[in-house]
Chains A and B, each alone.
Chain A
Amino acid sequence: DIQMTQSPSTLSASVGDRVTITCRASQSITIWLAWYQQKPGKAPKLLIYKASSLESGVPSRFSGSGSGTEFTLTISSLQPDDFATYYCQQYNSYLYTFGQGTKLEIK
């Protein structure tokens, strides 16, 4: 099975900051990676698919990059609505797997 490791587990930042979350795969997944945002008590929301494609309706301050085994999610200028937990998911091969999540907190 492909293991996904996110870092950091928790990130404290302020409104207006640029933040980056990293996701590493235990083997190459080419570009088959998605990023999701989840707020407490809510279902996850798709942000990025195929490593760098922005889902329709998602603000352009979100961007994804990477291929192979290392990927990043960048938020260019944090907004109050962005404080949430973020997950990566590989879908290169079954069994699909999620990272453990990164909680983005207000500093």
Chain B
Amino acid sequence: EVQLLESGGGLVQPGGSLRVSCAASGFTFTSHAMSWVRQAPGKGLEWVSDISGSGGTTYYADSVTGRFTISRDNSKDTLYLQMNSLRAEDTAVYYCAKGRGGAAPAQYWGQGTLVTVSS
């Protein structure tokens, strides 16, 4: 059974940094691209970032480019999102998602972790 478990969310001040993690199990982690998608309170879904299975290719939304870094540790089956220079508008539930082998970007989703940026 595929499981994705996010952690690391919390309250951070504007301008601060936070790293969220996603522990994966139930599939061959290194074989699948992974995504981060976020959802601000009461708002729609926003794609944030993707990383290839090897970790060698990454993509970012314009809203986070230069501030966020996606990475993965395939030896630990874990996905990360390092978030720097955080702004109030980054407040959201952050979901990790597993791709469907190229056929779809987000087949399975974690339960999400809430990041709140506030003073």
Contact = CB atoms under 8 A, between A and B. Distances in A.
B47 to A, nearest CB: 4
B111 interface: yes
A62 interface: no
A87 B45 contact: yes
Chain B interface residue number, banded: 20 to 34
B105 to A, nearest CB: 5
A67 B46 CA distance: 22
A4 to B, nearest CB: 10
Nearest to B104: A49
Contact of B107 (A46, A95, A96, A101): A46
A22 interface: no
A95 B62 contact: yes
B59 to A, nearest CB: 4
Contact of B47 (A45, A55, A95): A95
Contacts of B45: 36, 38, 44, 87, 89, 98, 101
Contacts of B112: 43
Interface in B105-119: 105-112
Contacts of B46: 98
B94 to A, nearest CB: 11
Nearest to A98: B45
Contact of B109 (A44, A50, A55): A44
Contacts of A98: 44-47
Nearest to B60: A95
Interface of B: 35, 37, 44-47, 50, 59-62, 95, 100, 103-112
Which 4 pairs between the two chains have the least Cβ-Cβ distance?
A49-B104, A43-B109, A96-B47, A94-B59
Interface of A: 1, 34, 36, 38, 43-46, 49-50, 53, 55, 87, 89, 91, 94-101
